[in-house]
Amino acid sequence: MSRMLLSRDEFVEELKKKTEITMEEWNVDLYRCPRCNGAVKRDYSTVWMSDPPKYRYFCRECGNYEEIM
């Protein structure tokens, strides 16, 4: 990891402030995994059609995943 990652809670707070997701985030480490502190990225292959849409996020290290806004 080349940069300091946010915690999951910090990431969710920042995400609430955003109005659109850019493709620049496609393969970027977004926050630290709450389970192992590994890097978590967004899985664009799974999207829930809620309002706002939810995405699946997964850890590159341990495989832990969760669905968040």
The CATH number of whichever domain residue 55 belongs to comes to: 2.20.25
Provide the CB-side half-sphere exposure for 19 (13 A, CA): 0
Domain limits at 47?
8-68
The pLDDT tens digits of the residues spanning 36-62 come to 999 999 888 888 888 878 889 999 999
The pLDDT tens digits of the residues spanning 7-19 come to 999 988 887 777 6
Please indicate, yes or no, if residue 25 is contained in any of the structural domains: yes
Task: Judge whether 32 and 57 are in contact, CB under 8 Å.
Answer: no
Q: Which of 27, 31, 29 is nearest to 11 (CA)?
A: 31
Please indicate, yes or no, if residue 31 is contained in any of the structural domains: yes
Confidence category of residue 25, pLDDT binned at 50, 70, 90: low
How many domains does the chain fold into?
1
Q: What is the pTM of this model?
A: 0.64
Please indicate, yes or no, if residue 1 is contained in any of the structural domains: no
